[in-house]
Amino acid sequence: MAESKMAEAKKGTEILKWANAKGEFVRKPSSFRNWITKDGSSGFPPESGRYHLYVSYACPWAHRTIIARSLKGLTKCITMDVVDYHMGEKGWRFNPAVKDATPDTVNGFEHLREIYFLANAEYEGRFTVPVLWDKKTKTVVNNESSEILRILNSEFNDFCETDEQRAIDLYPQELRKEIEEVNEWIYKDINNGVYRAGFATKQEAYDKAVCEVFAALDRVEEVLSTRRYLTGSTLTEADVRLYTTLARFDCVYVGHFKCNKKRIMDYPHLWDYLRDLYQTRGFGDTTNRHHIEHHYQESHLQINPHGIVAIGPDIDFNAPHNRDTKFS
């Protein structure tokens, strides 16, 4: 087993090729960018049972779409499969022997990469989650999490299970400008910032990235001192996008990615905010710490060569937060 892990660690250094000459992690763009539209003009009209999500509970980008699917009451309309938390030599795989993972119930494949090749036999990009799949045309509609999040928010309202879920709008017109502004710096310095710190291959690159992470967290802490959510009193996609990073921060980013200047628990407003979201339907019940902790520490063998999973930390996400009454 040890020899197997060491061999995989050598192959796992493929991720280090994402670094530039300065040792900075550079994320590659998503490849499939089609849209599902209510009027069908895109060629992909919304239909119940037609579309399928391939996700990982470990991946923060995929987690965005899992939350949106739950919040909007689309769990019956859009089916979903979950990959194994361990990413091996061939990338994400389907392994129903792992708790909370599933087989590929649509195409019967063993690895996620096979889905990409079914959509495009000459595909040369990365095999990432989430994937929004069209069962009818057997192709990937979209694999950009931020766009899938918006598709689920607006294009399937006719299929939401309840009126309350139908009324949820994570991207309201009157807040779009502020949402875009918040998304921009939070993505750069927090969502992707933790990866820029964790996957840095030179000290200077790490120092720059990790300082930007904590400067941005300090900024969020200040914002949340006067409002319940990032843009005010309304839960939006900006909160969904930040949540998936915060929920992983103390569990894995502090130790595994060396983002250890502070924990989220050390920020009074951020820590209350994180618990507030966790205790909201669609957030905590889709957060799988086992998948999260085991994925990062067992899969990133170039960082953690022996694949040893840390025992902690102890985190009580269900402790009272009082933000609902404080900002009522």
Torsion on CA atoms 217, 219, 221, 222, rounded to nearest 10: 170
* Long-range contacts (CB closer than 8 Å, 24 or more residues apart) made by 39-43: none
**Parallel, antiparallel, or unpaired for β 139-142 and 131-134?**
antiparallel
Which residues neighbour 67 within 8 Å (Cβ) at sequence distance 6 or greater? 240, 243, 244, 282, 283, 286
Which two three-digit tokens encode residue 263? 């924990």
187 catalytic residue (yes or no): no
195 catalytic residue (yes or no): yes
- Asked if 162 and 73 touch (Cβ cutoff 8 Å), the reply is yes
- Asked if 117 and 109 touch (Cβ cutoff 8 Å), the reply is no
**85, 187, 195, 267: which one is catalytic?**
195
SS3 state of residue 40? coil
**59, 77, 251, 259: which one is catalytic?**
59
Which residues neighbour 30 within 8 Å (Cβ) at sequence distance 6 or greater? 125, 128, 142, 143, 144, 145
**What DSSP assignment string belongs to 196-250?**
HHHT--SHHHHHHHHHHHHHHHHHHHHHTTT-SBTTBSS--HHHHHHHHHHHHII
What phi and psi, each to the nearest 5 degrees, are found at residue 204? Answer: -60, -40
Is it true that the peptide bond before 130 is cis, omega within 30 degrees of 0? yes
Residue type, 84: D
Instruction: Compute how many other C-beta atoms are within 10 angstroms of the C-beta atom of residue 306.
Output: 11
**What DSSP assignment string belongs to 277-310?**
HHTSTTTGGG--HHHHHHHHHHH-TTTSTT-PPP
Give CA–CA dist 48/98, Å, rounded. Answer: 28
List the catalytic residues: 59, 195
